[in-house]
Every structure is written in structure tokens, then in C-alpha cells.
């Protein structure tokens, strides 16, 4: 049983790294690949969304693996710094995902105004994912190493190298994101800001469509 539980736990790091680092990292740099600029943005938005959805699915399964492992072994939940940072990471990711799926239903100019928040949250999640991975690897090493960590056994060398690989991958992603030359050229329509007047107009129009008598009729009566 202990062996089986350990195998269930092992899915946690695998799925979290695959979802919140590898898939997520690729999804955020998708719009920076120059050959995609000549193609429809919608196509790449769909690919971006699908990769994010897959990452979301893997993160849910990865969390199920560790919560299941804790429940079966009577280990308390959410006590470590790793688990606190980790849960903030996934909550932020789920919020961003929810906003991402709701945004296509909102007016284009409203969407473009929210874009900087979306981009900031996207980068913040990547930093949080990296922090979660490094703290998780370190914690697992202290839990399971047979020999002292400072004698640097083979498992420690392997796990440290894996951590370094994750750091290198995230640095490359950040390097791509911070290069302005790789920014997809925006059309005027995509970058137009939204004013308070626009928001008010949208609210008034949506109220008006839900009324039996048109709003303009009441205005003329006043
Ligand atoms: C983005 C990546 C990751 C996230 C968001 C994340 C999130 C979490 C969360 C929320 C928990 C708490 C589960 C509970 O209390 O029942 C947890 C537990 C754990 N995670 Fe991760 N994790 C990530 C990556 C990793 C990695 C790469 C490892 C490396 C082995 C790891 C090792 C652990 C360990 C040992 C526990 C159990 C002890 C504890 O609760 O701190 N995690 N993780």
C-alpha cells in the first residue's frame, strides 16, 4: 500500500511541472512566434486557450494526486510554505482561466483594456509556478533522502539538476516575453482603449434591450 501511495504522489510533481511549467510556458510565448503574425489571431488564441485548458486539467489532476495521498496516509493538508504558495498559484491560474473564457463574451474594446492585467497575471503565475516547483523539490528531498542532503547523493544531484532545468526554462520564457521585437503587431482595433462613457453606454443598452418600452421613449417624455 505504501508503494502504491508513493506512486500516486509521484504524479503530483510530474503533472504540476508538465502543466504549470511546460504547457503553460509554451502557451504564453505562442503569440511571440513571428510566423504566427501572418496568420489569423483567432486561430492562435484558440491554440493558446486549448494549451491553457490542458494545463488546467493537469494541475487539477496533480492536486488530486497529492490531496489523495495525504488523505490516505493521514497527513494534514496545507501546512507547508510550498502548499500555501502552490495553492495561490493554482487559484490565480483558475481565476485567469475563468476570466479568459468570459472575456470573449465582452466588448472588444473592454477586452483590450483588460489585456495588461491579463498579461501581468500571466507572468505572475509563471513566477509562482517556478517558486512552487523549487520549494516542492526541496521539500521532497528533505522528506525522502536516505543520506544527509549535504553529502549530495545521486538523487539530490538529479533533483537539483531538474530544479535548475526548470529555472532555465522559465528564464528563457521571460527572455522571450520581455523582447519587444517579438511582440505581435497590434491592429488599431485590438489596442483601442475603453472609456467610462463606453461602459455606461453598454450598461444602458443592455438595460434597454430587457425593457418592453424603449429607453429613448422615456427620455423624450422627461
Ligand atoms: C506548479 C507546481 C506545483 C504546485 C502548484 C504545487 C501545489 C501543491 C499543493 C497545493 C500542495 C498541498 C497539498 C495538501 O496539503 O494536501 C502540495 C503538496 C506537496 N507538493 Fe507540490 N506543487 C507543485 C509542484 C511540486 C513539485 C515539483 C514537487 C516536487 C517533488 C512538489 C512536492 C510536494 C510535496 C512533497 C507535497 C506534500 C507536502 C506539502 O503539503 O507541502 N510539488 N503541492
pLDDT value of position 219: 36
Average pLDDT score, the chain: 85
Q: How far apart are CA 119 and CA 96, in angstroms?
A: 10
136-168 pLDDT, tens digit each: 999 999 999 989 999 999 999 999 999 999 999
Which residues have a Cβ under 8 Å from the Cβ of 214 and sit 6 or more positions away?
A: 208
Phi, psi (degrees; rounded to nearest 5) at 90: -70, -35
Looking at the fold, whether 175 and 201 belong to one and the same domain comes out as no
Looking at the fold, whether 33 and 91 belong to one and the same domain comes out as yes
Query: Which position has the higher pLDDT, 104 or 97?
Result: 97
Residue of minimum CA distance from atom 14 in ligand 1: 77
Looking at the fold, whether 182 and 213 belong to one and the same domain comes out as no
Q: How far apart are CA 158 and CA 178, in angstroms?
A: 30
pLDDT value of position 195: 42
pTM over 0.85: no
Looking at the fold, whether 85 and 139 belong to one and the same domain comes out as yes
Assess whether pLDDT exceeds 90 at residue 81. Answer: yes
Looking at the fold, whether 145 and 218 belong to one and the same domain comes out as no
Looking at the fold, whether 122 and 199 belong to one and the same domain comes out as no
pLDDT value of position 163: 98
88 lines ligand 1 (CB under 6 A): no
Q: Which grid cell is 139?
A: 521539500
Question: Which atom of ligand 1 is the closest one to the Cα of 128?
Answer: 1
pLDDT value of position 209: 53
Looking at the fold, whether 110 and 35 belong to one and the same domain comes out as yes
Q: Domain holding 181: CATH number?
A: 1.20.120.1770
Domain that holds residue 204: 194-222
137 lines ligand 1 (CB under 6 A): yes
Q: How far apart are CA 3 and CA 156, in angstroms?
A: 21
Assess whether pLDDT exceeds 80 at residue 74. Answer: yes
What would you report as the CA-atom Rg of the chain, rounded to the nearest whole angstrom?
A: 23
Q: What pLDDT band is residue 107 in, cutting at 50, 70 and 90?
A: confident
66 lines ligand 1 (CB under 6 A): yes
Looking at the fold, whether 132 and 202 belong to one and the same domain comes out as no
The stretch 12-40 carries a mean pLDDT of: 95
Q: What angle do CA 39, 107, 214 make, to 5 degrees?
A: 140
DSSP the chain: -HHHHHHHHHHHHHHHHIIIIIIHHHHHHGGG-GGGGGS-HHHHHHHHHHHHHHHHHHHHHHHHHHHHHHHHTTPPSS-SHHHHHHHHHHHHHHHHHHHHHHGGGS-HHHHHHHHHHHHHHHHHHHHHHHHHHHHHHHHHHHHH-SS-GGG--HHHHHHHHHHHHHHHHHHHHHHHHT-GGGSPPPPHHHH----HHHHHHHHHHHHHHTSSS-HHHHHHH-
Looking at the fold, whether 43 and 117 belong to one and the same domain comes out as yes
Assess whether pLDDT exceeds 50 at residue 221. Answer: no
Looking at the fold, whether 198 and 157 belong to one and the same domain comes out as no
Residue keyed to cell 523549487? 134
Looking at the fold, whether 101 and 204 belong to one and the same domain comes out as no
Looking at the fold, whether 209 and 184 belong to one and the same domain comes out as no
Number of domains the chain contains: 2
CA–centroid distance, 137 to ligand 1, in Å, is 9
Residue of minimum CA distance from atom 33 in ligand 1: 136
Amino acid at each position: 500500500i505504501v508503494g502504491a501511495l508513493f506512486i500516486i504522489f509521484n504524479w503530483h510533481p510530474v503533472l504540476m511541472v508538465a502543466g504549470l511549467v511546460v504547457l503553460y510556458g509554451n502557451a504564453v510565448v505562442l503569440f511571440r512566434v513571428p510566423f504566427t503574425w501572418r496568420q489569423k489571431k483567432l486561430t492562435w488564441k484558440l491554440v493558446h486557450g486549448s494549451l491553457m485548458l490542458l494545463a488546467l486539467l493537469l494541475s487539477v489532476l496533480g492536486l488530486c494526486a497529492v490531496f489523495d495521498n495525504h488523505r490516505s496516509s493521514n497527513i494534514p493538508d496545507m501546512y507547508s510554505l510550498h502548499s500555501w504558495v502552490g495553492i495561490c498559484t493554482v487559484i490565480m491560474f483558475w481565476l485567469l482561466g475563468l476570466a479568459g473564457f468570459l472575456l470573449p463574451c465582452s466588448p472588444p474594446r473592454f477586452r483590450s483594456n483588460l489585456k495588461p492585467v491579463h498579461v501581468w497575471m500571466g507572468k505572475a503565475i509563471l513566477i509562482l509556478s517556478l517558486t512552487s516547483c523549487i520549494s516542492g523539490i526541496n521539500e521532497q528531498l528533505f522528506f525522502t533522502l536516505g543520506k544527509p542532503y549535504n553529502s549530495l547523493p545521486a538523487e539530490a544531484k538529479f533533483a537539483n539538476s531538474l530544479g535548475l532545468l526548470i529555472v532555465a526554462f522559465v528564464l528563457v520564457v521571460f527572455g522571450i516575453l520581455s523582447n519587444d521585437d517579438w511582440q505581435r503587431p497590434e491592429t488599431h482595433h485590438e489596442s483601442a482603449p475603453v472609456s467610462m462613457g463606453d461602459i455606461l453606454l453598454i450598461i444602458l443598452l443592455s438595460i434597454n434591450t430587457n425593457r418592453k418600452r424603449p429607453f429613448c421613449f422615456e427620455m423624450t417624455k422627461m
